[in-house]
Structures are given as structure tokens and as C-alpha cells.
A and B are shown apart, each in its own frame.
Chain A
Amino acid sequence: MIVSIKDIFKMIGMLIVSFCAVIVCAMFLNYHLDLVTVENLITTELSRNFYKAQLSTARVVSGLSGGCLLLTTVVLLCFYIGHYIGTHQKQLGIMKALGYTRWGVAKHFCVFGLPILVGTALGYLSAHLLMPKLYEIQNKDGYLPDVAINFHPGLCAALVLAPTIFFALLAVIYSFVKLKTPALALIREQSSHKIVTSKKDRDRPFLDELRKSNVRQKKSLVFFITFAVFCFAAMTQMSCSMDELASEMMSVMIMAIGIVLAVVILFIATTSVVKANNKTITMMKVFGYSAKECTSAVLNGYRPWAYFGFALGTFYQYILLKLMVTVVFKDLSDKLEYKFDVPVMLITLVVFALLYELIMFAYTKQMEKLSVKEIMLD
């Protein structure tokens, strides 16, 4: 078997991300669809404005979180398959050398759609369980007629079946492209050390050199980590500043998604860095480098990028909320003001820093446990 159940199990991160995406999208899109049915019943001007604002919010929220999370899942999947092929190069190379066709190998990768199926299905189910509460909160002031919850088969297909098929296909195509590498190069694991050299060859200490080369080598990871922290910063700060603009349930949900996303991605990214550097770390330990020095060389190169992502996310949410206030709520009777919230930013920054250092600390502890025997048996 080319991709085992155990490998799929490790993709719990994708399950979580797709779950988050679908639960939010399903709730708000379903609400959107049901809301449209009551349009004819609206009579007053006030209700009409409120109705329009509600429709826009539903679109913005589902578009924002759905789009954001869809992108994350695509990146996550490509990253995971790339990583999978990277660590199983030898095995795949031997299969190619034995005469398996590229299709023959790549088609097995469609099982990567399985965690997406489970995640989206669970998300859709949970959304329906939460819907009564959402409908009630959204209309707690009674501006609108009662909105009934309906099941929309089209929505179910679009949110559960379509992503599953899309991601299964994506996995197959992506691995098909990746498997273009000649068998021998796979067996010799050449592509895993594609060397990216810096132009200037300065005489840096070894640890600096290793740190720099690690970051240069894994550009996708840099993107990944920056993106994770970007999402975290944007979503948590947005949810805190939004309590006036939207319902509490929405803020809590967005915040929860931001945190889950950041933790999942940071966790996956860090695990893959540490796994990819298993031999290097072990060799460093054999030579007498301390676990702290190993972590620093392998993981610290990403820290500046993480904080850059934080700054970017903060900026993004500011612009977005500013836009939302001026565009979406412009028709509402009482004009809302939006100002940048410094205390919230600082609290989020501290929470993020703590979270980040905690993950790094956990990996330092794990590195202390690595033994030489493991890499020698490899």
C-alpha cells in the first residue's frame, strides 16, 4: 500500500481546518439562503436596511473564513503531499524503478480526500446542530419575520462533496507532477537536498549557516508559518473589535477558528521541520551540541517571519474592518465608528508570543529524547 491509514491519520490537521471552514460557511450560507425567502415579508425601511446588512455579513463572514480556510487547506494539502513524497522518496523511487507507472502510483494519493470528507461532513452536521441558535441570535431584536431553517441539498453538495472530490483530484494531480523526478534521483533522495546557495559566501559560524540554509531551503514553510500567524493575528483581533458590529457568537467563532488554525499549522510546520532535520539534529547531538543549540539552528530562522505575519495580519484586519464599517453598514441608521484597538493588539501579541515559545519549548524537549539508534536503523 502506497499511502497507509496511519499516514492519513496524521492529516488530522486538514480534517480540523476543513471542519472549521465548513461549519462557518454552512451556517452563514444556509442562513443567507433562508433569509432570502422572507424578503417579501419585509415592510418597514428599518427592517429592510437590517435585512441587507444581515445578508452582507453572512456573505462577508462565509467568504472571509471560507476563502481563507480553503486557501489554507490547499496549501496544507500540497505541503503535506510534498512532505510525504519527500520522506518516502526512496520507496516511491524503487516502485518506479520496478516499473510502476506514474499514474499507477499517483492514483493511490486520492485517499488524501478522506480526511476532507470526514472534516467537511462533520462540519456540515455540526452547523445544522448550531443553526437554531444562530437564527435566534441574528434576529434577537425582532426586526425580521421568523426565518425557518431549511435543508439545502445544493449547499450540502457544494460544501461536502465538491471539496472532497476537488482535494482528492488535487492530491492525485499534485503527486503526479511531483513524481516526474526520475526513479534514480528519488532513490538517492536528491530532490530533498536541492541546494539553494546564497550568493555571498560569508564566513558565518556553523549554527548561523545551518539556520540560514534551513530557511532558504524550505520557502514553502516560510510562507506557511507567516500565513498561519497572519490568520491568527487577523482573526483574533477582528473578533475582539467586532463585538459592536456583529453578534457575539460570530466573534467567538472567528476567534476560535483563528486560534485553532494557528496552532494546527504551527504544529504541522514545526513537526515537519523537525522530522526533515532528524538526522542533522541527531548528528549535532552526537557531536556535543546542546538541545537548545539544535532548536535554535533548526527552528529559530522562522521566528522573524512569524512576527512579520503578525504585523501583516494586524494591518489586514484593520483595513478589512474599516471597509466593512464604511461599505457594509453604511445604510444603518446609527453610524458606527471603528478605531484601531491597541490593547487588543498587545494582548494578542503576548498570547501569540507565549504560544509560539511554548511550541518551541516542547520541541526542544522532544529533541533531547532523539536517539542515535533511530537514525542508524533508518
Chain B
Amino acid sequence: MIKINNLHKFYGNGESRTEVLKGVSLNIKDGDFVVILGASGSGKSTFLNVISGLEPADAGTVCYDDKNICEMNDTEMTLFRKDTIGYVFQQYFLLPNLNVDKNVKMGADLTKNTNYRSLIEAVGLADKKKKYPHELSGGEQQRVSIARALAKQPKVLFLDEPTGALDEATGRMVLDLICKLQKELGFTMVMVTHNQNIARMANTVISMNSGRIVEEYTNSSPQSAYEIAW
């Protein structure tokens, strides 16, 4: 369970100081699939970065099973990231000078997961293990980054617009893959998107607008990646 309480985040100093998160509270159940929806600039990425411990909050608490990550020091934070979170970015951020196998190994080595090659197969890239990121299409790169994040067997997977740079067909395929892997492995998943249709796939939907949660509801029957409109 992730308990987020009254989170505030500011950017800039003096005149240009703006409040990007204006007191956000939320509970995320273990194994849930949460989609955070909102227009560009509404603070979704900031929210995701703060609750995953990538950026410090200015006020409020984020507790993972009663451990408040806002009070952790550097060593504790490193350990927390290693054991708990996986992250998938819109821009993939693969390591350019290592091949697919080694990129996924980056995640696997952290938790001594020797079975990571099965994940490369699961994302359908078994025959591209030796390829380098610039030799892959966007969709393939995103699948590598998903395999990399899951190779460390995270308890929570954060995804920031994972299909933001992909076309419809590739986007659907990537989303389908993520959902299947989540059902199979049972991790908690928090995904940010500005595409309202993708929200139909989630169990829980959070709508954000200018730094606040404006709506929160659960889907009684989530749809698959091939059933939703795009």
C-alpha cells in the first residue's frame, strides 16, 4: 500500500516560484493498476517523480507500508529504489553503448535475477538481444525499457507516458504487453497519460488538473488494449 498525504511541490524561486502540486492525497492498493490522467502541464510527471522518490517533496508524506520515503537519507533511498521501484520513461533512456541484453541486465543485476532473459522473450525481442538501441524502432526500444524495469522484479512499476512517442498499432501492442505482464507478475502499476482512452484499461483512474486531483473512480470492467478507442 502506498499512502500519499497532502503532497506539495514547488518549482523556481522568488517571483517565478510556482506550486506544481497543491496538496495531493491518494492511497494506492497493492497490485492495483492506476492511471493518472490530465492535460499537459497539470503536474502528472512531477507527481510520479515525487511518489517514486526521484524528486524530493516540499511538504507532505509518501509512505510505502508505513516507511516514509520523504525522510530517507541517500543510502536508504538508494536501497528503496533498488528493492521497490521500476520506472519506464516516455523517452526510453536506454544506455546507448550497450546492447539489448546488457541493458536488461542493468536491471537484473540489482536483484541478482539470473532469469532475466525470459523477460526479453516475453517482450518479443529474443532475436534482437545483440542489437543496440539505435538499431531498434521506438516500440522495440520501449519494450526493452519495460523488460529492463521488470528485470529487477519491482514491487511497483511507474510508467510516464510509455506510449507517448509511439503510433497507434505499436502503442496498443506495448500496452497489451504491460497489462499481461502485470497480471502474470502481480506488481502494482502507476501509469501517467494524457490519452483518455487508455484510462479505460485501468482499475483505478485519477484525474489531475493544475496540481490537484479533481476526480477518482474505479472501472468495474477494465478493457484490453485492443478494445479501447485510440
Known A-B contacts A193-B96, A213-B97; A288 and B152 likewise in contact (beta carbons under 8 Å): yes
With a cutoff of 8 Å between Cβ atoms, the chain B residues found around residue A205 in the complex are 105, 109
* Contact yes or no, B105 A206, CB < 8 A: yes
Any chain B CB within 8 A of the CB of A242?
no
With a cutoff of 8 Å between Cβ atoms, the chain B residues found around residue A287 in the complex are 81-82, 87, 106-107, 110, 152
| Partner of A288 from B78, B89, B93 at Cβ < 8 Å | B78
- Considering only residues 167-207 of chain A, those with a C-beta below 8 Å from chain B are 188, 190, 192-193, 195, 201, 205-207
Any chain A CB within 8 A of the CB of B134?
yes
With a cutoff of 8 Å between Cβ atoms, the chain A residues found around residue B152 in the complex are 287-288
Any chain A CB within 8 A of the CB of B98?
yes
Q: Give the shortest distance, in Å, between A280 (CB) and chain B (any CB).
A: 5
Mark interface residues in A203-228 (1 if CB within 8 Å of B CB, else 0).
00111011001100100000000000
| Partner of B54 from A206, A207, A291, A372 at Cβ < 8 Å | A372
* Chain A residue with the shortest CB-CB distance to B96: A193
CA distance A309 to B25 in the complex (A): 57
Choose among A193, A279, A288, A368 the residue with the greatest number of B CB atoms under 10 Å from its CB. A288
Majority secondary structure of chain B interface residues (helix, strand, loop or mixed): helix
- Considering only residues 124-161 of chain A, those with a C-beta below 8 Å from chain B are none
Any chain A CB within 8 A of the CB of B64?
no
Known A-B contacts A286-B54, A287-B107, A371-B55; A206 and B93 likewise in contact (beta carbons under 8 Å): no
Any chain B CB within 8 A of the CB of A283?
yes
Known A-B contacts A288-B78, A288-B83, A376-B45; A195 and B54 likewise in contact (beta carbons under 8 Å): no
* Contact yes or no, B49 A209, CB < 8 A: no
With a cutoff of 8 Å between Cβ atoms, the chain B residues found around residue A100 in the complex are none
CA distance A285 to B82 in the complex (A): 9
Any chain A CB within 8 A of the CB of B79?
yes
- Considering only residues 95-113 of chain B, those with a C-beta below 8 Å from chain A are 95-98, 102, 105-110
Interface residues of B (CB under 8 A from A): 45, 49, 54-55, 74-75, 78-83, 85, 87, 89, 91, 93, 95-98, 102, 105-110, 130, 132-134, 152
With a cutoff of 8 Å between Cβ atoms, the chain B residues found around residue A335 in the complex are none
Q: A280-B95, A287-B106 are in contact. List 11 more A-B contacts (CB 8 A).
A: A190-B134, A206-B106, A210-B95, A210-B98, A217-B97, A283-B93, A286-B81, A288-B79, A288-B81, A291-B78, A376-B91
Majority secondary structure of chain A interface residues (helix, strand, loop or mixed): helix
CA distance A285 to B52 in the complex (A): 12
- Considering only residues 235-289 of chain A, those with a C-beta below 8 Å from chain B are 279-280, 282-289
With a cutoff of 8 Å between Cβ atoms, the chain A residues found around residue B49 in the complex are 372-373
With a cutoff of 8 Å between Cβ atoms, the chain A residues found around residue B107 in the complex are 287
CA distance A213 to B98 in the complex (A): 7
CA distance A288 to B105 in the complex (A): 14
| Partner of B109 from A207, A214, A371 at Cβ < 8 Å | A207
CA distance A283 to B96 in the complex (A): 12
Report the interface size class on chain A: 20 to 34
Interface residues of A (CB under 8 A from B): 188, 190, 192-193, 195, 201, 205-207, 209-210, 213-214, 217, 279-280, 282-291, 368, 371-373, 375-376
CA distance A375 to B49 in the complex (A): 13
CA distance A291 to B78 in the complex (A): 9
* Contact yes or no, A289 B93, CB < 8 A: no
Q: Give the shortest distance, in Å, between B11 (CB) and chain A (any CB).
A: 9
Known A-B contacts A188-B134, A195-B132; A373 and B95 likewise in contact (beta carbons under 8 Å): no
Q: Give the shortest distance, in Å, between B128 (CB) and chain A (any CB).
A: 14
CA distance A371 to B105 in the complex (A): 23
Q: Give the shortest distance, in Å, between A285 (CB) and chain B (any CB).
A: 8
* Contact yes or no, A195 B97, CB < 8 A: yes
* Chain B residue with the shortest CB-CB distance to A210: B98
With a cutoff of 8 Å between Cβ atoms, the chain A residues found around residue B134 in the complex are 188, 190, 193
Known A-B contacts A288-B79, A288-B110; A209 and B96 likewise in contact (beta carbons under 8 Å): no
The 5 closest A-B pairs by CB, nearest first: A288-B82, A288-B81, A193-B96, A206-B109, A372-B54
For this complex, 30 residue pairs linking A to B, each with C-beta atoms less than 8 Å apart, are: A193-B132, A205-B105, A206-B102, A206-B106, A209-B102, A210-B95, A210-B102, A210-B106, A213-B97, A214-B97, A279-B93, A282-B93, A283-B93, A283-B106, A286-B54, A286-B87, A287-B82, A287-B87, A287-B107, A287-B152, A288-B82, A288-B85, A288-B110, A289-B78, A289-B110, A291-B78, A368-B74, A371-B55, A376-B45, A376-B91
